[in-house]
């Protein structure tokens, strides 16, 4: 099975996808005149605004659900893998895809708001919805269906195993007496309790857990950085020099460095992949661009904050190895994890991060496999919550696309989807990490191909909404208007007039948005 998955993965993750992601992010950034810099203060302000309704969730809940999907194993194990395969320079390429990816995240999230609909008594939005309504016709319907099918398979079956595998790996490192199947059984219970409670249940858990764990994780990283503050300038220099092959020992790995940096950057922040757009479409806001800006900031939180924190901890403590692209190592710091079959795994596992924190807090000069300290326990705890909320977000994304395909029919299939995801999570706790990552990368790559092409085709409504937001933003600054509200012309979006017919009636007593079904 691993051979088959690897074969298709190599096709999907060719250089063409890397170029497409970078060029698309650069294009949108230029078209919107580096909005990700100009509006960064507004992004933070809007994150805590936006109302709730019986049909939607708040902007903060939406970003919490998005971060639940973004902040997970990619921020800890993904960074370790990037350093192992590409060296320190891979972190620069993760930064770049995050900065440019903010443009893609804005467009897909704004489109999700423009074309959102009400189904099953709640807002639903995302690539399948805006592709069908935006492109229109037979092609639009089948292209949207393709995305929906791929997303249900990716989020419901392929991706959960990566998260649960990381939970299992970190937990067994911290508590050797625990077996993987025990972790799997525990996950089955805690996933089932929340999954079948719907988006509000998932949003409530994400809102409570994600900010707390992200802040706690960054605080630990900041403490370690302060403890080694003198090393930071040299490490930043190393990252930049390595990224362009100027560091001699990494000169031969630039191609692999860029590929793994973009791949892990996308897996971490999901910009352009379309997953964040699902939560964005569920938010209650007065203008689509508002949620686009909020979702753009979530990319920063994920990669520029959390991933950077992980990278600095690993690099400054020296708890990492770097592959030479074959079976050898360019850098061998003696860090490894013993697999269930007794073999030493020197690749970018969760051990890099656990050992880096242990090294900082316990004064370890070199890696000691048998040592279990604060880092081992803290990362096991952090991954449990990060990966748990990520799997909840995966279910919501898969369910949204399943509902899109079913259109009110066979509601029992949502239960089947939940059971499949839970089964995939259990399997991940007892499977190999290599297979789990290969399957996850395949799912991410397929979604990215379909969605990026879709947002390039549909860019006009999103860019027009951004211009409208900018126009009203200036008027609001002058005190000429109180609230920025989206009021497009009738028929601007073909047969979809949510913002013309339905949104203006939101405050009418007893009025409820009509359900698509």
Instruction: Quote the pLDDT of residue 517.
Output: 46
Q: Is residue 29 part of a domain?
A: yes
Instruction: Quote the pLDDT of residue 469.
Output: 94
Q: Is 56 helix (H, G, I), strand (E, B) or coil?
A: coil
**Whole-number Å distance between alpha carbons of 424 and 188:** 10
269, with CB counted inside 10 A (0-12, 13-18, 19+), is: buried
Establish how many alpha carbons lie within 13 A of residue 482's alpha carbon, considering only the half-sphere containing its beta carbon.
0
Q: Is residue 281 part of a domain?
A: yes
Range of the domain at 223: 1-505
**Whole-number Å distance between alpha carbons of 455 and 458:** 5
Predicted model pTM: 0.84
- What's 246's domain CATH number? 1.20.1740
Q: Is residue 511 part of a domain?
A: no
Instruction: Quote the pLDDT of residue 389.
Output: 82
Q: Is residue 317 part of a domain?
A: yes
Instruction: Quote the pLDDT of residue 182.
Output: 87
Give the CA angle between residues 190, 191, 196 to the nearest 5°: 115
- Residue whose structure tokens are 């929906």: 148
Q: Is residue 368 part of a domain?
A: yes
Q: Is residue 516 part of a domain?
A: no
What are 211-242's pLDDT values in tens digits? 777 788 888 888 888 888 888 888 899 999 98
Instruction: Quote the pLDDT of residue 304.
Output: 81
Q: Is residue 110 part of a domain?
A: yes
Q: Is residue 35 part of a domain?
A: yes
Give, for all 517 residues of the chain, the pLDDT tens digit. Answer: 667 777 888 888 777 887 888 899 899 999 999 999 999 888 888 877 655 555 555 666 666 666 665 666 777 777 888 898 888 899 998 888 889 989 999 999 999 999 988 776 677 788 999 999 889 889 999 999 999 999 998 888 888 888 888 888 888 878 888 887 888 888 888 888 777 776 667 767 777 777 777 788 888 888 888 888 888 888 899 999 988 877 777 767 777 788 888 777 766 767 778 888 888 887 788 899 998 998 888 888 878 888 888 898 999 999 999 888 787 888 889 888 877 667 788 887 788 988 999 998 888 888 887 788 888 888 888 888 888 888 888 888 898 899 889 876 777 788 898 899 999 888 888 776 666 667 777 877 888 899 999 999 999 999 999 999 999 999 998 888 888 989 888 777 776 677 887 777 666 666 565 555 4
Alpha carbon separation from 6 to 88, 124, 157, 327, 425 (Å, rounded): 25, 34, 17, 18, 20
Residue 222, token pair as written in the block: 């900041």
- Number of domain units in the chain: 1
Q: Using the Cα atoms of residue 379, residue 385, residue 391 and residue 394 in order, give the sign of their dihedral.
A: negative
Q: Is 482 helix (H, G, I), strand (E, B) or coil?
A: coil
Instruction: Quote the pLDDT of residue 341.
Output: 66
Give the CA angle between residues 158, 416, 275 to the nearest 5°: 45
């Amino acid at each position: 099975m691993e051979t088959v998955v690897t074969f298709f993965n190599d096709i999907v993750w060719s250089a063409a996808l890397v170029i497409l992601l970078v060029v698309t992010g650069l294009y949108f950034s230029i078209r919107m005149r580096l909005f990700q810099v100009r509006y960064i203060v507004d992004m933070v302000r809007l994150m805590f605004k936006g109302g709730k309704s019986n049909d939607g969730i708040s902007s903060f809940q939406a970003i919490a659900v998005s971060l639940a999907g973004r902040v997970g194993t990619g921020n800890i194990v993904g960074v370790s893998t990037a350093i192992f395969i590409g060296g320190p320079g891979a972190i620069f390429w993760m930064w770049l895809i995050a900065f440019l990816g903010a443009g893609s995240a804005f467009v897909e999230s704004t489109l999700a708001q423009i074309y959102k609909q009400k189904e099953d008594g709640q807002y639903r939005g995302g690539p399948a919805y805006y592709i069908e309504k935006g492109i229109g016709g037979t092609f639009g319907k089948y292209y949207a269906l393709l995305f929906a099918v791929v997303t249900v398979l990716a989020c419901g079956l392929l991706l959960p195993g990566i998260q649960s595998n990381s939970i299992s790996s970190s937990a067994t490192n911290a508590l050797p007496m625990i077996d993987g199947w025990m972790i799997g059984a525990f996950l089955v219970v805690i996933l089932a309790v929340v999954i079948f409670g719907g988006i509000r249940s998932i949003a409530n858990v994400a809102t409570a857990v994600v900010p707390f764990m992200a802040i706690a994780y960054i605080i630990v990283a900041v403490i370690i950085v302060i403890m080694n503050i003198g090393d930071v300038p040299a490490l930043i220099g190393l990252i930049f020099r390595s990224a362009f092959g100027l560091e001699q020992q990494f000169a031969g790995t630039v191609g692999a460095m860029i590929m793994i940096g973009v791949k892990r950057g996308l897996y971490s922040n999901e910009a352009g992949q379309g997953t964040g757009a699902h939560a964005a479409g569920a938010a209650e806001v007065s203008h689509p661009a508002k949620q686009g800006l909020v979702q753009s900031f979530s990319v920063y939180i994920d990669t520029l904050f959390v991933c950077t924190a992980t990278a600095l901890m690993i690099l400054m403590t020296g708890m990492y190895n770097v592959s030479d692209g074959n079976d050898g190592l360019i850098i061998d710091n003696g860090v490894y994890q013993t697999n269930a079959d007794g073999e030493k795994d020197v690749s970018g596992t969760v051990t890099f991060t656990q050992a880096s924190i242990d090294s900082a807090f316990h004064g370890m000069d070199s890696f000691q496999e048998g040592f279990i300290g604060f880092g081992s326990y803290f990362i096991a705890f952090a991954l449990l919550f990060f990966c748990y909320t990520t799997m909840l977000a995966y279910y919501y994304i898969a369910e949204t696309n399943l509902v899109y395909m079913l259109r009110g029919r066979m509601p029992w299939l949502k239960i089947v989807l939940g059971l499949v995801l839970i089964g995939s999570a259990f399997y991940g706790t007892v499977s190999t990490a290599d297979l789990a990552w290969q399957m996850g990368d395949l799912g991410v790559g397929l979604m990215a191909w379909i969605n990026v092409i879709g947002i390039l085709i549909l860019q006009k409504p999103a860019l027009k909404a951004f211009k409208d937001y900018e126009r009203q933003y200036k008027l609001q600054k002058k005190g000429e208007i109180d609230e920025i509200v989206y009021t497009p012309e009738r028929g601007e979006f073909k047969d979809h007039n949510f913002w013309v017919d339905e949104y203006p009636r939101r405050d009418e007593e007893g009025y409820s948005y009509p359900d698509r079904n």
